[in-house]
């Protein structure tokens, strides 16, 4: 019984902490994020297992976590509000070439992050060539350029 309670408690706490620390935290894995992830994994391990290292305990815990995950995905499908609360919603950072400063500041995205995504995805050179920039739920920035860049062989 204790394992199930531990599993649920740690899952809920971790979910809340991750969600509330902001979507950018673990979205794009930098070396810092990697270290953070490792430490969190190590820290939660003991709280999850307690002092019982039996296979039974591990199986109960795994089944609990999988069960929670499945249950949550059903709840999310069933209620859009819960879905939004747990997964968040996409944020439009640039709309028709106009920067939404509030959104950019509040979601802690730098202009260089937007430019990086633009360069990587669409070979866009400057900010004014971006029509839309959207911070997606997963933390990635998707870019829609103003006009598709010409390929050298098309000229």
Partner 1 sequence: MKHPPIRSDGLQLEEPRTFQRFFWRLERIAWCVFAFIVLLALLGLTGAGGPFSRATARFSAGSLEYPRIGRWLTPDELRIHPDASGEPILVVLDSDFVESYELQRPVRGRRSSSGFGPGRRAFPPSRSS
Binding site for partner 1 (CB under 8 A): 17, 20-22, 51, 84-85, 88-92, 95-96, 103, 106-107, 132, 134
Q: Minimum distance between the CB of residue 22 and partner 1, rounded to whole angstroms?
A: 6
Cβ-based nearer residue to partner 1, 52 or 66: 52
- Based on CB atoms, which residue is closest to partner 1, 89 or 111? 89
3-state secondary structure of 143: strand
Nearer to partner 1, 63 or 89 (CB): 89
Min separation Cβ 152 and partner 1, Å: 29
**Least distance in Å: CB of 115 to partner 1?**
20
Residue with tokens 């829609």: 144
Q: CA separation (Å) from 122 to 95, 127, 148, 151?
A: 17, 12, 8, 11
Residue 146: CA atoms inside 13 Å, Cβ hemisphere, count?
Answer: 11
Query: Smaller CB distance to partner 1: residue 67 or 110?
Result: 110
């Amino acid at each position: 019984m204790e394992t199930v309670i531990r599993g649920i408690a740690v899952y809920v706490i971790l979910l809340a902490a991750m969600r509330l620390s902001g979507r950018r935290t673990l979205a794009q894995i930098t070396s810092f994020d990697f270290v953070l992830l490792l430490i969190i994994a190590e820290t939660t391990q003991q709280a999850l297992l307690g002092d019982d290292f039996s296979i039974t305990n591990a199986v109960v815990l795994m089944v609990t976590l999988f069960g929670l995950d499945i249950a949550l995905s059903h709840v999310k499908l069933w209620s859009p509000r819960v879905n939004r609360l747990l997964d968040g919603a996409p944020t439009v950072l640039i709309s028709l070439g106009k920067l939404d400063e509030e959104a950019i500041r509040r979601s802690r995205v730098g202009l260089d992050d937007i430019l990086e995504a633009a360069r990587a995805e669409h070979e866009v050179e400057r900010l004014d060539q971006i029509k839309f920039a959207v911070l997606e739920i997963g933390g990635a920035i998707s870019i829609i350029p103003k006009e598709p860049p010409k390929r050298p062989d098309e000229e």
